[in-house]
Amino acid sequence: MISRRRVGVASAVVAGGLAVAGLLGLATGPAPISPGDVVAALVGQARSDLAATVVLELRLPRVLLAALAGGGLAVAGAAFQALTRNPLADPAVLGVAGGAALGAVLGHLGGLGGSFAATLGISAAAFAGALVAATAVYLIATAGGSLPVQTLLLAGVITGLFFSAVITLVVSLVDFAQLGGILHWLMGSLGVVGYRGVAVVAAGTLVGTALVYAQARALNLLALGEESALQLGVEAERVKRVVFVAASLLTGVIVAQTGPIGFVGLIVPHGVRLVVGADNRLLLPVVAGAGATFLVLADTLARLVVQPAELPVGVVTAFCGAPFFVYLLRTRLRRRLV
């Protein structure tokens, strides 16, 4: 039986792993700052202005954003997988991240600027885009009445392609100068965001994760199929709506700041499920911690490989994620066919 205690212990373990990864991320970068100086800067005893600025203004918000985005995307992935009863679902595969990206692009072009309101507005636009995409995927996939794996993936691919086509349309119609960092942002990057963006992502991620976690037990029952869930007393439609909106919120606020980062939402929940099982009450906290750790490490790698230039972090996650996805698809399809 899953007890509070077991969830607490597991959460503490992943939090410890995340702390180690975070320290590694804080200690890595082109500026020569010793680990001791990093720690000194963290506790407010910086030994130089450079160390203080680099650690507190550049590396820390970046590590925090990576942790929040990784954790949030992984939780969103686990939520979409539970909702669709399909371990191949995630915000990117379902085209929801594409919808969020389009929303953010339109938000950028609509009200570009550095104000806090603009940051919020772009996040809201991305959230709206994510909701539109998620709804579209759902309507396409359930048009036949049921929700088979292939139909869902196909619907996600179609939606994703459509939204990326719209983004391409917008990008080719708009003056390059006005696009600004959008092109770079579209590749997925954690670099430009300061504490303002971190705060918005933190708020959205916290709310979204809490909403999903409150439905953790109901989601377990949904895995039995909608009919059985209803017969066990689950208000299936309401649960699905809440989790749907929460997962779109997570995707929206994160994509608005980081751009689309693929595969985190796919491979983290699946890998964690192999270790701790499918019970969402234990799965979700471990997924959050593991996703955060994964993206912090991936971003550290992205900063390291071609110093002082940087790889888009999505490149690193894709290099880890794509082979894993193919492996999942093969084993999953084999099981279905036999």
Interaction residues for another protein, span 217-276 (CB under 8 A): 217-218, 220-221, 223-225, 227-228, 230-235, 273
Note whether 308 binds another protein by CB under 8 A.
yes
Query: Considering the complex, what minimum distance in angstroms separates the CB of residue 312 from another protein?
Result: 9
78 near 216, Cβ under 8 Å? no
Handedness of CA 236, 71, 317, 331 (dihedral sign): negative
Note whether 304 binds another protein by CB under 8 A.
no
Segment lying near another protein (by CB under 8 A), choices 67-75, 81-89, 152-160, 239-247: 81-89
Name residue 111's amino acid.
G
Which of 27, 39, 112, 140 lies at the binding interface for another protein (CB under 8 A)?
112
CB-based contacts of 50, cutoff 8 Å, min separation 6: 31, 33
Note whether 17 binds another protein by CB under 8 A.
no
CB-based contacts of 249, cutoff 8 Å, min separation 6: 127, 130, 204, 207, 208, 211
Which of 177, 334, 337, 338 lies at the binding interface for another protein (CB under 8 A)?
177
Residues binding another protein: what is the number (CB under 8 A)? 61
Which of 248, 279, 294, 321 lies at the binding interface for another protein (CB under 8 A)?
279
* Plot region of 145 (φ>0 → left; ψ -120 to 50 → alpha; else → beta): left
Note whether 4 binds another protein by CB under 8 A.
yes
Which of 39, 58, 166, 207 lies at the binding interface for another protein (CB under 8 A)?
58
Q: Which is nearer to another protein, 117 or 173 (CB)?
A: 173
Quote the tokens at residue 63. Answer: 């590590």
Segment lying near another protein (by CB under 8 A), choices 9-17, 68-76, 177-185, 198-206: 177-185
Q: Which is nearer to another protein, 158 or 230 (CB)?
A: 230
Note whether 57 binds another protein by CB under 8 A.
yes
Query: Considering the complex, what minimum distance in angstroms separates the CB of residue 54 from another protein?
Result: 5
Strand (E) or helix (H) holding 292: helix 280-304
CB-based contacts of 40, cutoff 8 Å, min separation 6: 46, 47, 51
Give CA separation, 161 vs 10, 77, 215, 289, in Å.
Answer: 38, 19, 31, 30
Quote the tokens at residue 31. Answer: 């500026």
Q: Which is nearer to another protein, 131 or 317 (CB)?
A: 317
Segment lying near another protein (by CB under 8 A), choices 68-76, 128-136, 306-314, 322-330: 306-314
Rg (CA), the chain: 20
Per-residue b or e along 178-207, where b marks 16 or more CB atoms closer than 10 Å to that residue's CB: ebeebeebbebbbbebeebbbebbbebbee
Strand (E) or helix (H) holding 72: helix 60-84
Q: Which is nearer to another protein, 132 or 258 (CB)?
A: 258
CB-based contacts of 2, cutoff 8 Å, min separation 6: 279, 281, 282
149 near 94, Cβ under 8 Å? no
Query: Considering the complex, what minimum distance in angstroms separates the CB of residue 121 from another protein?
Result: 15
Which of 38, 54, 254, 290 lies at the binding interface for another protein (CB under 8 A)?
54
Which of 116, 180, 210, 275 lies at the binding interface for another protein (CB under 8 A)?
180
> Can you tell me whether residue 206 is helix, strand or coil?
helix
Q: Which positions lie near another protein, rule CB under 8 A?
A: 1-4, 29-32, 50, 53-54, 57-59, 82, 85-87, 112, 114, 145, 172-173, 175-177, 180-181, 183-185, 191-192, 194, 214, 216-218, 220-221, 223-225, 227-228, 230-235, 273, 277-279, 281, 303, 307-310
